[in-house]
Amino acid sequence: MSYDLVVRGKAFVGGELSYQEIGIEDGRIAAVSKSLGRADKVLDIGSSRAILPGFMDPHVHFRDPGMTSKEDFSTGTLSAVHAGVTCVLDMPNTKPPVTDVRTLNEKKAAVRGRAHVDYGLFAAVTAGCNAALLAPMVPGFKLFMGSTTGNILLNDDAEMIPAVKGVLATGKRMSVHAEDDSMISKGGAECTRDHLRNRPAAAEHNAIRRLAGSFRGSRINICHVTTPEGLDLARAAGFTTEVTLHHVLFDVDRHTGAEYKVNPPIRDPATREALYRRLLAGDVSMFGTDHAPHTVEEKGQEFEAAPGGIPGVETTMPIVMEMVRGGILPLSMAVSMGAEVPASSFSVRKGRIAEGYDADLSVFDFRAPEPIDVRRLHSRCGHSPYGGFKAIFPDTVIIRGELQVDGKEFCGERLGKDVCG
């Protein structure tokens, strides 16, 4: 058989790195073998770099439409591809929020043809939403039990429980911002510790308990878990979980300013350290960046006036790759949490170097860590709390068999497609 492209080199297949030849035909992986036949084109990666499946970020806020001064689909997905992220799932709290078929179709039209990576658009869970109509058009739904950017809060059991039942009946997974809004204080805040006081860990725990009480064993994903107790509650209920790097790397003692203001909040050092240990133990299902950009000017306001949110789509997986290089995380866990689990959880045919999967590949040279230079990042927001952190960025990225990044420079086109058509 002749292939459109054969990629040769040390690839992550079957849980380990080994020499493989990856045959690509019509954008999908047609064969993986130690030796393949003819190809129209061969890309030889060599033995010093690692070919990994393209990563998937199941939780981004690209602010498009309605808030494109902060980020849009073009800049957000350009950031993603430079991290080796080949698919993103965008949240519905844009302007207008995605709550019905009309607003979903409007958003699809607004972003079509502007993405550098593949994407899916979530719909919000609202009282009386027609989940059956929305389900074929989305990879998942988002429930906001705690107030955050946007106005699509749903925390009253009388409305929430029937709405969630309708969503879960479609077979789609529902991601949840799990903070019980009735336990969130609206008091003033001058630093991250004040913000933590206003949004206590108990709000996370109670939100997850309420979900577990009605929906144990259901296709529910708890976003940005911030505490080991919340993680235990979610795991006991059979829910998948996300963790962000900002909740395992930052705490209120060392990171006090508005740049670190986020919902749910970063927590005290002991909680952060305990959550970090649980990440290293393999107890979290997947990484999710909760990439939530705001402008430098917005984040430069007094703490109380500054919006909550931290950008991370371009920095998270490169930092994780440095953790792999340093022996902190095993490569198998990084690939599972960054590619395999998010793709399988949201039923997207990506995340593995295996026959039948989309030919999304990211190539990393573990000999080449570098400090993150915020000036070289591609997000429109123009700032990052990860400046100076060591990271390994991919030098080659392929999406559906098409070379998009070569020598760490973008060389492709805006070929991103909606994974739900």
Q: If you search the block for the tokens 């995605």, which residue do you land on? A: 98
Last-in-domain residue among 328, 345, 362: 345
Check whether 122 has a pLDDT greater than 90: yes
Helix (H, G, I), strand (E, B) or coil at 5: strand
Contact 183, 198 (CB under 8 A): no
Cis peptide before 264 (omega within 30 of 0): yes
Indicate if 235 and 324 belong to the same structural domain. Answer: yes
Cis peptide before 65 (omega within 30 of 0): yes
In a domain, 110, yes or no: yes
**Residue 363: closest CA among 122, 61, 12, 15:** 12
Q: Which helix (H) or strand (E) holds 297?
A: helix 296-299
Indicate if 11 and 29 belong to the same structural domain. Answer: yes
Structural domain boundaries enclosing 24 = 5-52+353-410
| Distance between CA atoms of residues 186 and 198, nearest Å | 7
Tokens encoding 350: 């990506």
Indicate if 157 and 216 belong to the same structural domain. Answer: yes
**What is the number of domains present in the chain?**
2
Query: What is the domain-level CATH number for residue 14?
Result: 2.30.40.10
pLDDT grade for 379, boundaries at 50, 70 and 90? very high
| Distance between CA atoms of residues 386 and 368, nearest Å | 18
In a domain, 419, yes or no: no
Indicate if 45 and 59 belong to the same structural domain. Answer: no
What are the strands, taking DSSP E only, across 130-194? Answer: 140-144, 173-177
Question: Is 360 among the catalytic positions?
Answer: no
Terminal CA-CA length for the chain:
30
pLDDT at 151: 67
In a domain, 228, yes or no: yes
Indicate if 404 and 294 belong to the same structural domain. Answer: no
Q: How many CA atoms lie within 13 A of 224 on its CB side?
A: 27
CB-based contacts of 413, cutoff 8 Å, min separation 6 = 404
pLDDT at 373: 98
Q: What is the pLDDT of residues 159-199, one digit of tens each?
A: 999 999 999 999 999 999 999 999 999 889 999 999 999 99
Check whether 150 has a pLDDT greater than 60: no
Tokens encoding 316: 């998270």
| Distance between CA atoms of residues 184 and 186, nearest Å | 7
Indicate if 387 and 325 belong to the same structural domain. Answer: no
Q: What is the pLDDT of residues 78-91, one digit of tens each?
A: 999 999 999 999 99
CB-based contacts of 296, cutoff 8 Å, min separation 6 = 381, 382, 383
Query: What is the domain-level CATH number for residue 116?
Result: 3.20.20.140
| Distance between CA atoms of residues 82 and 93, nearest Å | 25
Indicate if 103 and 218 belong to the same structural domain. Answer: yes
| Distance between CA atoms of residues 75 and 110, nearest Å | 14
Contact 292, 149 (CB under 8 A): yes
| Amino acid, res. 215 | F
Check whether 56 has a pLDDT greater than 90: yes
Check whether 248 has a pLDDT greater than 70: yes
| Distance between CA atoms of residues 383 and 134, nearest Å | 35
Q: If you search the block for the tokens 């000017």, which residue do you land on? A: 297
pLDDT at 128: 87
Phi (first) and psi of residue 216, to 5 degrees: -55, 135
| Distance between CA atoms of residues 147 and 151, nearest Å | 7
Indicate if 286 and 379 belong to the same structural domain. Answer: no
| Amino acid, res. 114 | R
Q: What percent of the chain has pLDDT over 70?
A: 99
Contact 239, 220 (CB under 8 A): yes
Q: What is the pLDDT of residues 6-55, one digit of tens each?
A: 999 999 999 999 999 999 999 999 999 999 977 889 999 999 999 999 99
| Distance between CA atoms of residues 266 and 244, nearest Å | 10
Please identify which of the residues 290, 360, 365, 395 carries the catalytic annotation. 290
Tokens encoding 306: 């500054």
Indicate if 396 and 267 belong to the same structural domain. Answer: no
Last-in-domain residue among 291, 325, 345: 345
Indicate if 237 and 271 belong to the same structural domain. Answer: yes
pLDDT grade for 361, boundaries at 50, 70 and 90? very high
Last-in-domain residue among 345, 369, 390: 345
Q: What is the pLDDT of residues 258-317, one digit of tens each?
A: 999 999 999 999 999 999 999 999 999 999 999 999 999 999 999 999 999 999 999 999
Indicate if 306 and 216 belong to the same structural domain. Answer: yes
| Distance between CA atoms of residues 314 and 83, nearest Å | 5
Contact 63, 298 (CB under 8 A): no
Check whether 408 has a pLDDT greater than 60: yes
In a domain, 328, yes or no: yes
In a domain, 223, yes or no: yes
